[in-house]
Structure formats: C-alpha cells, structure tokens
Amino acid sequence: MNFNTALLHQSFDGEKATGSTLVPVYQSSAFAHESAEKLEAVFNNKAPGFAYTRISNPTVDSFEKRVAAMEKGIGAVACSSGMAAVTMSLLNILESGDEIIAGSALFGGTIDLFGDLEAFGIKTVFTDEVTAESVEKLATDRTKAVFTELIGNPKLNVTDIKAVSEAAHKRGIPLIIDSTTATPYLINPFEFGADIVVHSSSKYINGSGNSISGVIIDSGNFKWDTKRYKGFEEYKKFGKFAYLAKLRNGIWRNVGACLAPMNAYLNSVGLETLGLRMERLCFNAKRLAEFFEEDGRVTVNYPALDSNPYHELTEKQLKGMGGAIITIRAGSKEKAFKLINSLKYACIATNIGDVRTLVIHPASTIYTHSTTEQQVNAGVYDDTIRISVGIEDIDDLIADFRQAIDKTEVI
C-alpha cells in the first residue's frame, strides 16, 4: 500500500462487532470480565483483553497499532503528551549515574526536562549538533542513550540518522529520534538505523490542535545488553519486545502517563489525513520560504531551500521536503513583534502542526527559561519568528506576510 492508503487500511479495519468504520471512544475507567480467573490473566498480561484504562484501553490500543504500522515499528505506547513520551522513552532505560548525549538545538521543553533529570543523577552532555563525530567524541561507559530531533525545532538542523546510528551502535548505545516535525510522511527513521522514535502526536499526527498526546515507537532492532542495561534482565524473555514490555510494565504504567481515550480517538481521526495535510503543508512552506528569500527583507531558514546547508541531507533523507516549519529573522525584537502583530491570518500561539498558520516569538516564550547560550545553540535570537505553516491558500499567506513586512519597514 502507498502512504495514504496505508493510513486508512494498514493495521486497521474499524470495529467488526458493530461495523463502525472508526474504533469508538471507550470512555471507561475499567472493564469487567466473566470470572476472577479471566481478570487475573488479563491483568497479569497472560491473556488478551483490557482491565483498567491507565494500563490499556481499546481506543488507545487502536491508535498505537496504527502509528506503529506507519512508522514500521513492532509496537507503540501512547502517552498523555509529547513531553511525557520523551520522558518515558528515556527513563525506561536510564538510572542514576547514566548520561545522555543530546543536541543543544532542542525544543525548549526538552532542554528543561534534561535539567530536571539532573536531580535524579542523570546527566545530559550537550553538543552543538548530534553527528557521528560528536557521538564518537563524547560517548563514555556511562552513556546510555543518544537523543536528537530529526528536524530541530526551531533551529531546523537535520540529523544524519544513518551516520549517527552507526556511531552509537558501535558503542552499544541506542539512538532515540524525536520525529515530530518530520512525521512518517517524510521518513521512517528505523529504515536509517534509529532504534526508538518519539512523536508529540499533538502536532502533525493530530493535525487540528484539539488534543495533547505523545507516542513512543520501538523498532525492535536494538540488542539490549542486560549487563549494561540491568533493568532489562527480567524482560529479556520477551526478545525484540523487551523495551516495550519493560515500558508498559514499569515506568509508564506506574507514573500514569497514559493517553485519554478521547484524545486517542481524535488523533486517530487526524492520522487518516496526515499524508494529504503534509503534502500541502510542505508545499506551502517551500513556497513561503522562497518568497522570503526572494523578497530579501527578512532572513529565512528552511531546510529544503537550495541555499540551505541541510539541503543535500534533506534530499537524501526527507524526499526533498523540509517539513512545515520556517524561521525568519526580522532584524530586531521590536520588528519581530511588529511583524507578528501585523499578520491577519496567522494565529499567535505556542503550537505547531495545526491546519492554520501559527507564529511565535520563541525567545520570549518557549525559550524564556533558557540561557542566552542555550537560545543561540537552538537557533533562537531576539528577532527570530517561528512559523508553523498551515494549509491556507499560499497566495493568501504570501500576501499576508508581504503586507506585514511592509508595515514593519516603517518602524
């Protein structure tokens, strides 16, 4: 099946019992069984079924299977938010004394999380960019994970997954990729060597900005050394499913980072149009970026532009598409605010992946807790504007940004 067909039919055929073309919202906390023996078996993972929604739920289960299929993974675990997914993906394998290698061009919330992990004895070693060279240089016996965003948000740097995964695997370290801004439409990171993929499915998978969620997908390819990753000893009997089994029966289950059934349903609805939306979003983003470059009055950053340093890697990994985020520099904070406030169609909001265009001034919002050095490393300056491009008609978007830049010029 090709991409859009697979979204509708792969690992999904509605609900056979009723003929519903969508798995309905099972808005129930608990599920009754015909005997104590059956509940015991289900609760202890010795029989299929559902016991309690914090542990599993039919609506959530359907969403997980569909996302895993689209990412070509062996299974997925849905979480209450993208940040919960990032947190759970790491805590499933880390303990006090461990280290993470991570790119400094990360979403501000992820940088804040790594700061929080220090209180638990988990150190993050930051590098300007996660490359094969930086992994080889920074990896130690304590390094237990390499974490990076595929397309940095908002720096828009692109990670060479194949090169990085090879360097990490030489040291027996898994590569965890946040592929939120790329989505399965542009790339399946497992095909390039990634081991775990994380999405903030609140964004492009959902597509309409109506629910918070995250999801973790496992490739099943990484060989967990139980001497190095001691927590996997009791799960090695699950073979390639060891990571998912440990996650479901451990930190994810006990912290209670489960996805609500209604949000899982809304994400499943959004997932069905992911291909159509991403096709339009990437088209609009490229055209808008080209307008900024030709106009010349703001500095534009977009990976798919011929002039961008990541253009070649974008062609090789991302089918020549750069995603739907653009950053521009207006010249000063005052001009950035004036430009933002002059837009007619773009919403001023802290989100990405909506059907409508969204703009934000990152330095004063999502990076407000970051140091100046952290902001610069993430590609954030006082005059930076992040644009999450929507599906509006491109001529209208270009006209809107042109008139906003015109007004900014009179400051």
Are 249 and 294 in the same domain?
A: no
CA distances in angstroms from 157 to 2, 106, 129, 174, 177, listed in the order given? 28, 10, 8, 21, 13
Are 354 and 248 in the same domain?
A: no
Are 192 and 292 in the same domain?
A: no
Are 316 and 362 in the same domain?
A: yes
pLDDT of residue 14: 82
pLDDT of residue 411: 59
Last residue of one domain, picked from the residues 240, 270, 300: 270
Are 251 and 306 in the same domain?
A: no
Are 239 and 386 in the same domain?
A: no
One-letter identity of residue 304: A
Residue 332 sits in a domain whose CATH number is 3.90.1150.10
Per-residue pLDDT of the chain (411 residues; tens, 9 = 90+): 999 999 999 888 788 889 998 899 999 999 999 999 999 999 888 899 999 999 999 999 999 999 999 999 999 999 999 999 999 999 999 999 999 999 988 888 899 999 999 999 999 999 999 999 999 999 999 999 999 999 999 999 999 999 999 999 999 999 999 999 999 999 999 999 999 999 999 999 999 999 999 999 999 999 999 999 999 999 999 999 999 999 999 999 999 999 999 999 999 999 999 999 999 999 999 999 999 999 999 999 999 999 999 999 999 999 999 999 999 999 999 999 999 999 999 999 999 999 999 999 999 999 998 889 889 988 999 999 999 999 999 999 999 999 999 999 865
CB of 196 within 8 A of CB of 174? Answer: yes
Are 262 and 291 in the same domain?
A: no
Residue 146 sits in a domain whose CATH number is 3.40.640.10
Domain count, the chain: 2
Interacting residues of 4 by C-beta distance below 8 A, sequence separation 6+: 275, 276
pLDDT of residue 12: 80
CA distance between the termini of the chain:
54
Interacting residues of 142 by C-beta distance below 8 A, sequence separation 6+: 97, 98, 99, 123
One-letter identity of residue 41: A
C-alpha closest to that of 181 among 168, 197, 195: 197
pLDDT of residue 15: 85
Last residue of one domain, picked from the residues 270, 296, 319: 270
Are 195 and 333 in the same domain?
A: no
pLDDT of residue 11: 80
Are 220 and 360 in the same domain?
A: no
CA atoms of 243 and 233, how far apart (whole Å): 11
Domain that holds residue 363: 275-408
Are 341 and 256 in the same domain?
A: no
CA atoms of 220 and 45, how far apart (whole Å): 19
Last residue of one domain, picked from the residues 216, 244, 270: 270
Are 307 and 248 in the same domain?
A: no
pLDDT of residue 105: 85
pLDDT of residue 228: 95
Q: How many CB atoms lie within 10 A of CB 230?
A: 10
Are 319 and 305 in the same domain?
A: yes
